[in-house]
Amino acid sequence: MLILGCGNPDRADDAAGLLVAQRLRELGIDAREHGGDMLGLMDEWGADDEVILVDAVVSAGKPGTITTWDARTAALPPDCFPCSTHALGVAEAVELARALNRLPRSLMVYGIEAGNFEPGGAPSPEVWNAVERLAQDLAAASPKPLVTVPADPPNTV
Amino acid sequence: MSDTGHKSRTITVDCLARVEGEGALFVKLKGDKVTDVKLKIFEPPRLFEAFLRGRHFSEAPDIAARICGICPIAYQMSAVHAMERALGVAIDPAVRMLRRLFYCGEWIESHALHIFLLHAPDFLGYPDAIQMARDHRELVETGLRLKKIGNRIVSLMGGREIHPVSACVGGFYKVPAEQDLRALVEDLKWALEASVKTTRVVAGLDFPDFQQDYEFVSLCHPEEYPLNEGRLVSNKGLDIDVAEYEDHFVEQHMKHSNALHSVLRGRGSYLVGPLARYNLNFAHLPDVAQQAARDSHLALPCRNPFQSIVVRAVELVFACAEALRIIDSYTRPELPHVEIAVHAGVGSAATEAPRGILYHRYSIDDRGLIRFAKIVPPTSQNQRRIEEDLWHFVSQVASRPTDEVTWKCEQAVRNYDPCISCATHFLRLQIERE
């Protein structure tokens, strides 16, 4: 199992994926951080890998809401994943991998709803809370596909 | 008779993709006649010049690099050279070559991204690289591998792929060992061969018949294809030291844009970037790049902005060959950087970002604190020229169906690989027909 956390450490809630990877390592689970160029994502995995990808998302949900997609069975919603500058975001990178027949054997994508991308800002309590819950879930068990977990109230980390 | 006649038409494209930054393109037509073109950049001013004031001169390269995720090295290089001119610093020749290598890495990753993933879909009739990849897998895989090799150079030289952290005034904080660079050679040999093939492939694309009488401006160096150094030269008589830049180039505020327009004083728009460099510096391209241009039947001078994709491919050949040359002759310098004696001073520098000249000027006090900073990115310099291209180009294609005109306008903007975030992030396109 390969776990990849994506994001930008300097843009508040956009750090969510990176924080999950860091927390998993603290819990003794191997996880990598992937920042910067998302085009490099498909070089991280092989065809036979089972991959979990975690990133911040922007949809209509409340900050801290965790949404899961099985990227092997359906395209990721392109408008939910923040784009990196002058390059492709996670959704485009995954769809490019699909077009090039370079998806791994399984690819589960966990999105943590972000509410704040302030440059230099700290992640919100809701996102910190979601990071902890997702890291604990991933550490405790194999991923539970296609579930949506409501966000906890703020300041309950 | 066109399909439009003299009726009014308004065409709105909510998001012109495959450019960096947020802005809008407004084209107004009366019948088939263009009556207004505005490249509206509404990305808020990013105020980096103000952020720099009061900071120590040594912080400028890393602060300025944050302006852009795709050309941070350009910002670092212009900053270090300007500071070195302000402080009278002479660097080790080996460090100078490492800076060229660093820049080659950025050119490779930036040009590969633009050629294969951002611009090629326009010519091959796809909305984006993902759709194109389904039919042109080998082409996209080549682009991805080339970009990765550029990223590798940047990562090795700069500590990380994006916003590298190794460049400093006086040299680098850390320089690579010979064996570290030799590890890049096999990849670069493949990249050189792939770039030559790419030049032939993109030269075979279908280009609109569109040529303009541009004033091309680039750095020119007596012995090298320009990256870090040179005089500012144009095809219409400009030949100045970079210190004279502000005597000849002025920035103008336009009501419709948050990025200042640069013009040549008394002359107007000018063009910076691959076309300008190629036209003014062909003699300094290595033989392999010159031959790739000839084999592709690329004109010299090339005045068709749509063929910038071919010129970028020629520059990919150059960057790979230059990187190999530098690695072959590299001996690690004794010291990664020279010590700096701080004093008050003023220094300016321009280097060749992938999109063209990037000008910096700094004034520092006797404690080394920045009192004034001025940064003129290439997209600001090309803004006026992009608008003028559209005035002329839309006139040529205005009689075609609106969807096609819209597509062509977007393609014409992407000729410049504009980086609006640099200039002040999505470009929205609106065509209004009266």
- For residues B148 and B328, what is the distance between their CA atoms, to the nearest angstrom? 21
Q: How far is B118 from chain A (nearest CA, A)?
A: 9
CA atoms within 13 A of residue B33's CA, in its CB half-sphere:
4
Interface of A with B (CB under 8 A): 35-37, 39-40, 42-43, 84-88, 92, 95-96, 99-101
- For residues B52 and B239, what is the distance between their CA atoms, to the nearest angstrom? 30
Cα-Cα-Cα-Cα dihedral sign, residues B112, B118, B119, B122: positive
Q: How far is A85 from chain B (nearest CA, A)?
A: 6
Taking Cα atoms as reference points, which of B91, B51, B64 lies closest to residue B171? Answer: B91
Q: Give chain A's mean pLDDT.
A: 85
For residue A154, give Cα distances in angstroms to A58, A115, A157. 18, 12, 8
Nearest CA in chain A to B419: A86
pLDDT score, position A150 = 43
pLDDT score, position B33 = 83
Contact predicate B108/B80, CB 8 Å: no
* Helical H segments across B56-136, by residue range: 60-65, 72-87, 93-112, 120-124, 129-135
Nearest CA in chain B to A85: B69
pLDDT score, position A151 = 41
Cβ distance of A85 and B69 shorter than 8 Å: yes
B433 — pLDDT class (breaks 50, 70, 90): low
Contact partners, residue B170, CB within 8 Å, separation at least 6: B80, B84, B89, B91, B337, B338, B339, B340
pLDDT score, position B252 = 84
B11 — pLDDT class (breaks 50, 70, 90): very low
Contact predicate B333/B177, CB 8 Å: no
pLDDT score, position B91 = 95
- For residues B215 and B268, what is the distance between their CA atoms, to the nearest angstrom? 9
Of A107-121, B18-32, B91-105, the least confident: B18-32
**What average pLDDT does the segment B123-146 reach?**
94
Q: What is the ipTM of this complex?
A: 0.82
Nearest CA in chain B to A10: B66
pLDDT score, position A127 = 97
Q: Which residue has the higher pLDDT, B165 or B30?
A: B165
A128 — pLDDT class (breaks 50, 70, 90): very high
Task: Judge if pTM exceeds 0.80.
Answer: yes
**What average pLDDT does the segment B90-118 reach?**
95
Of A83-87, B251-255, B295-299, the least confident: A83-87
A82 — pLDDT class (breaks 50, 70, 90): low
Pairing label, strands B239-240, B231-234: antiparallel
Asked if pLDDT for residue B277 goes beyond 50, the answer is yes
Tell me if A10 is assigned to some domain: yes
**What average pLDDT does the segment B39-56 reach?**
79
Contact partners, residue B109, CB within 8 Å, separation at least 6: B70, B147, B150, B151, B154
CATH topology of domain B92-214+220-341: Cytochrome-c3 Hydrogenase; chain B (1.10.645)
Query: What residues are paired with A34 via a beta bridge?
Result: A6
For residue B267, give Cα distances in angstroms to B130, B255, B270, B318. 42, 21, 8, 32
Range of the domain at A55: 2-149
Q: How far is B413 from chain A (nearest CA, A)?
A: 15
Asked if pLDDT for residue B208 goes beyond 80, the answer is yes
Q: How many residues does chain A have?
A: 157
Asked if pLDDT for residue B136 goes beyond 70, the answer is yes
Tell me if A157 is assigned to some domain: no
Nearest CA in chain A to B164: A36
For residue A119, give Cα distances in angstroms to B114, B288, B399. 26, 44, 45
Contacts of B131 in chain A (CB under 8 A): 99
Question: 10 Å Cβ neighbour count for A27?
Answer: 13
**What average pLDDT does the segment A44-53 reach?**
94
B158 — pLDDT class (breaks 50, 70, 90): very high
pLDDT score, position B160 = 84
Residues of chain B with CATH 1.10.645.10: 92-214+220-341
- For residues B196 and B272, what is the distance between their CA atoms, to the nearest angstrom? 24
Tell me if A155 is assigned to some domain: no
**What average pLDDT does the segment B275-286 reach?**
98
pLDDT in tens, B396-412: 888 888 888 888 888 88
Tell me if A154 is assigned to some domain: no
Contacts of B69 in chain A (CB under 8 A): 36, 84-87
- For residues A16 and A13, what is the distance between their CA atoms, to the nearest angstrom? 6
pLDDT score, position A155 = 39
What total number of domains does chain A contain? Answer: 1
How many beta-carbon pairs under 8 angstroms link A with B? 56
pLDDT score, position B211 = 95
Contacts of A85 in chain B (CB under 8 A): 20, 68-70, 421, 425
Burial class (CB in 10 A: 0-12, 13-18, 19+), A38: buried
For residue B391, give Cα distances in angstroms to B29, B36, B305, B377, B428. 10, 8, 14, 23, 17
pLDDT score, position B250 = 92
User: In the structure encoding, which two tokens stand for residue A150, read together?
Assistant: 């409501």
**What average pLDDT does the segment B59-65 reach?**
94
Asked if pLDDT for residue B426 goes beyond 50, the answer is no
Cβ distance of B140 and A87 shorter than 8 Å: no
CATH number, domain with residue A85: 3.40.50.1450
pLDDT in tens, B326-379: 999 999 999 999 999 999 999 999 999 999 999 999 999 999 999 999 999 998
Three-state DSSP state, B25: strand
**What average pLDDT does the segment B222-247 reach?**
97
pLDDT score, position B430 = 64
Tell me if A96 is assigned to some domain: yes
Which amino acid is it at B403?
D
pLDDT score, position A86 = 53
